Structure 1
């Protein structure tokens, strides 16, 4: 099982005002919540570790996890409110977010809430702003350091500058997480904001620091994978884009799901990845992310849909 750790929140898509009323659509979300749902939809055993409120939104989130087949025994039920992200998209479908998350449930995770790292967990997926806020950030770092060297730790910073505070302090925290990670996935945009670095040089530093695989995504331009034996760029898929909400989370989920499908989700297997397997892995993740871009909101695809797209099916099934 892959244990996904982080935030579950409500994406609030605001509509057009009608007098003194503003219509809005509340959708389950959060970067790591999306990764967990994505893994489940791709047929990969997955559990979710995080604080979820006992309020109405929190029950909505927990019900969605259970409905999709995500193992919820690692949830911490919190009396704090559910965080909200107010989402708007531009003409190209690029989202912007306004977060309401101070003193909310996703931060309410202490070391005592951590499960043991046992044989039932093969990988830990971490990321987004919970790695940088307290007390959840220190708690997740404890988990990552326990898992390092034994399990695959996969890290996607998914930078949210408005939430993380001092960027220098964030970098220090990220570096500690990165030392535990076998896989690091991040967007070129995050790389520019956080590190002001070119992908090749930055990826080489991470590989020298112990990572087995580094992947830099670049939207419609595709993604570049870095491995000690290979460097591989794969182009994006030309698809009609409705919006890109959840595309990066889909990529992360599909990356891990494909590794699990191919029995490659271990540190030794990652170290020995062949070029053909690496190309298959990145193509699978790009295809999955493309499907999400063709839908409104973070509506992540199922395994049959990704396989149909990769097989060249004209009509991708909605499972």
Structure 2
């Protein structure tokens, strides 16, 4: 059975990780393809979901690295734009828990220069779900064009948004201002607990979910790292614990979770339209699967999601929460 097509729109970033103990006076970096939307597209394709990536890819050394990585993972790049601008670079330094702190080199780079004509050429007729988010939705000049494209696509496709707040590049106030617009057309809002704190400081998970439901989103999923995830479908909530994992780093784990969630929903015929057939038990199953995908991503260096054949973790019991 061929699974429904998921189209991912957004950036592909060169993630440069500091290498421990370089020669004195030198800084050694290991560069891997990254960027939240690109990571999600790769994870979807590796799981077996047809994944098409709408991206602006440079022809520089990083852009060539991106293309090779995406195509080797099975991502469809036929709709990607060949961009004259340079690629975006993010330098990541990992702490003792595998959490990354980033510095970005993103001024005038390819990812943010979308034009209305470029996106007008994208055919979404066969797309069941359109996923986007991260910096592509807030970095100008392309951010408002991407937002308008998602709003139009919501008439036929399920829309999934991951804010993936990056305060070093875009002030959280910008995300807060734009989020109500995204909630009006999004069917799925997937974000981290860190995002929640930046978007709605002081809000509990439950209060935040209710606020976003009121703004129009049927399904809100908040990942909480080693404490698992909470999902809320129109106010009916489930909690999913994180599977055991030997954490090397957490880079790309949230993106892999999103891919696992969409893959599972698509495999059960639940993507397309406004999720009117979705039930909370479906959400529980999808989040449990997504947690397994994220756990495997944490076990390797960088944003390197698993292939379908690697999913051999035992199922973890999950439970409902009140509220």
TM range (shorter): over 0.9
Q: TM-score, normalised on structure 2?
A: 0.91
Which is worse superposed, 242-251 or 170-179?
A: 170-179
1:75 aligns with 2:80: yes
Q: Determine if the alignment matches structure 1 residue 86 to structure 2 residue 91.
A: yes
SS of residue matched to 2:28: strand
- 1:251 is aligned to 257
Q: Aligned to 2:15, which of 8, 11, 18?
A: 11
Does 2:220 align with 1:214? yes
**More helix per residue:** 1
Aligned match for 2:187, one of 182, 191, 198: 182
1:299 aligns with 2:304: yes
Cα displacement (A) at 1:238: 2.0
1:105-144 per-position Cα deviation (integer Å, ceiling 9, x unaligned): 1112111101345421111101111211112201211111
Q: Deviations over 1:82-113 (max 9, x none)?
A: 11111111111111111111111111211110
For residues 12 and 118 of structure 1, the distance between their equivalents in structure 2, rounded to whole angstroms, comes to 33
Distance in 1, matches of 2:280 and 2:111, equals 38
Shift of 1:311: 5.7
1:77-156 matches, cutoff 5 A = 77-114=82-119, 115-156=121-162
CA contact (8 A) 2:15 2:35 kept: yes
> Distance between the aligned counterparts of 2:249 and 2:227, measured in 1?
16
**Is residue 194 of structure 1 aligned with residue 211 of structure 2?**
no
Answer whether contact 2:218 2:233 (CA < 8 A) is retained.
yes
Contact conserved, 2:270 with 2:277, CA < 8 A, in 1? Answer: no
Instruction: Tell me the number of residue pairs that the alignment of Structure 1 and Structure 2 aligns.
Output: 309
Cα distance, 1:127–1:212 mapped onto 2, change above 3 Å: same
| TM-score (norm: length of structure 1) | 0.93
Rounded Cα–Cα distance in structure 2 between residues aligned with 1:44 and 1:36 = 9
Structure 2 gap segments, 5+ residues each: 317-323
Contact 1:111-1:142 at 8 Å conserved across structures? no
Separation in 2, partners of 1:85, 1:118 = 30
Q: Paired residue for 1:241? A: 247
> Offset at 1:45?
0.6
- 1:284-313 Cα shifts (integer Å, max 9, x gaps): 01111011111111110112222x21469x
> Per-residue deviation at 1:205?
2.0
CA contact (8 A) 2:210 2:235 kept: no
Question: What is the aligned partner in structure 2 of residue 315 from structure 1?
Answer: none
- For residues 235 and 163 of structure 1, the distance between their equivalents in structure 2, rounded to whole angstroms, comes to 32
Find the aligned partners of 1:189 and 1:23 in 2 and give their Cα distance: 29
SS of match in other structure, 1:162: coil
The residue matched to 1:122 in structure 2 has which SS?
strand
User: For the residues of structure 2 that align with 1:71 and 1:236, how far apart are their CA atoms?
Assistant: 31
Instruction: Return the match for 1:37 from 24, 37, 42.
Output: 42
Offset from partner CA, 1:67-94 (integer Å, 9 cap, x none): 2111111211111111111111111111
Shift in Å, 1:174: 2.2
CA distance in 2, matches of 1:229, 1:17: 51
Runs of 4+ aligned structure 1 residues displaced above 4 Å come to: none
Aligned to 1:226: 232
